[in-house]
Amino acid sequence: MTDLRHTYTRVLDYVGESLPEDPIHNWVLDETDRRGLPAIQITPEQGRLLNLLARLLGAKRIVEVGTLTGYSGIWLARALPPDGLLITLERNPEHASLAREAFEKAGVADRVRLLEGTAAETLATLTLDEPLDMLFVDADKANNRTYFDWGWQHVRPGGLIVVDNVLANGRVAEPHNGDTYARTIAAFNQYVSETYGDLATILPGYKRDEDNLDGTLIVRVPLEES
Ligand code: SAH
Ligand code: DHB
Ligand code: MG
């Protein structure tokens, strides 16, 4: 396992060096760290995936649950056309404050609306002027199902729901799904698999700290005729 991790670290370095980088991403990561806020952003590879998926959808409306300091939001917002909108939800004012700064610095503030508060409450009153193309869920895992069900009602046919951390640092695979956190996530995965299984995939991948494995769930909302 140690060897595998070593190889993976080198492979990630290779991937990073092989793809162009915008300094804004590292600025957000550094500034998050400098303020003592958590380094739990998605990886650059996940960021690229979100950006690519949004572009493939021709997305104009995206909702994100769990902004943190704007790292994933920048990847999403950069996929939007000038008249596109990312609505991103965050309950922690310190996180939201840096996120606003980051969106300004990245030049996407005109395409982002950050709504502060408890996500479930914000979603319950949210109205959209155009069809929602994509929902990205990355907040309190116990509410994954609430956010997913909201997405199922609001994302347009053919749109996507993406959920981070569905492997609970790999602990979903432990006997009896390990601990409470992992069991919560395993129950959510089982719900998705039983209800929408043939519309979904889980992509495993290493976390930012490269010590843990986690996964990204991607579900496509079916077209009306299917
Ligand atoms: N998507 C971010 C990381 C999000 S970390 C990125 O990759 O850059 C999870 C965030 O969700 C934290 O900032 C936390 O404050 C927020 N959060 C957790 N529970 C929440 C809730 N119920 N409502 C709104 N935000 C919540
Ligand atoms: C952690 C990682 C995440 O991606 C997240 O959304 C929440 C917590 C973590 O590693 O603790
Ligand atoms: Mg996450």
* Per-residue model confidence as pLDDT tens digits over 3-46: 777 888 888 889 888 888 889 999 999 999 999 999 999 999 99
Q: How do residues 129-175 score in pLDDT, each as one tens digit?
A: 999 999 999 999 999 999 999 999 999 999 999 999 999 999 999 88
Flag whether the pTM goes above 0.85. Answer: yes
Any domain includes 214: yes
The label of the residue with tokens 């003592």 reads 36
Any domain includes 141: yes
Structural domains counted in the chain: 1
Q: What is the C-alpha to C-alpha distance for residues 55 and 76, in angstroms, rounded to an integer?
A: 9
Nearest bound ligand to CA 164? 3
Using the predicted structure, report yes or no on whether residue 217 has a pLDDT greater than 90. Answer: yes
pLDDT at 151: 98
Any domain includes 225: no
Q: Which atom, in ligand 2's list, is nearest to the CA of 212? A: 10
Any domain includes 226: no
Ligand 2 touching residue 138 (CB < 6 A): yes
Percentage of the residues of the chain whose pLDDT score is greater than 90: 82
pLDDT at 1: 55
Nearest bound ligand to CA 67? 1
* Cα 42 to ligand 3 centroid, rounded to whole Å: 6
Q: Tell me, what DSSP letter sits at residue 221? A: P
Question: What CATH number does the domain containing 167 carry?
Answer: 3.40.50.150
Any domain includes 100: yes
Any domain includes 175: yes
Any domain includes 64: yes
Label the pairing between strands 132-137 and 155-164: parallel
* Cα 101 to ligand 2 centroid, rounded to whole Å: 22
Q: Which two tokens stand for residue 194?
A: 């039983």
Label the pairing between strands 61-65 and 85-90: parallel
Ligand 1 touching residue 89 (CB < 6 A): yes
pLDDT at 209: 80
* Cα 226 to ligand 3 centroid, rounded to whole Å: 31
225 pLDDT tier (thresholds 50, 70, 90): low
Q: Tell me, what DSSP letter sits at residue 118? A: -
Any domain includes 127: yes
Ligand 2 touching residue 37 (CB < 6 A): no
* Cα 129 to ligand 3 centroid, rounded to whole Å: 28
pLDDT at 4: 79
Closest CA to 189 of 150, 220, 218: 218
pLDDT at 66: 99
Closest CA to 203 of 175, 163, 173, 176: 163
The boundaries of the domain holding residue 86 are 2-220
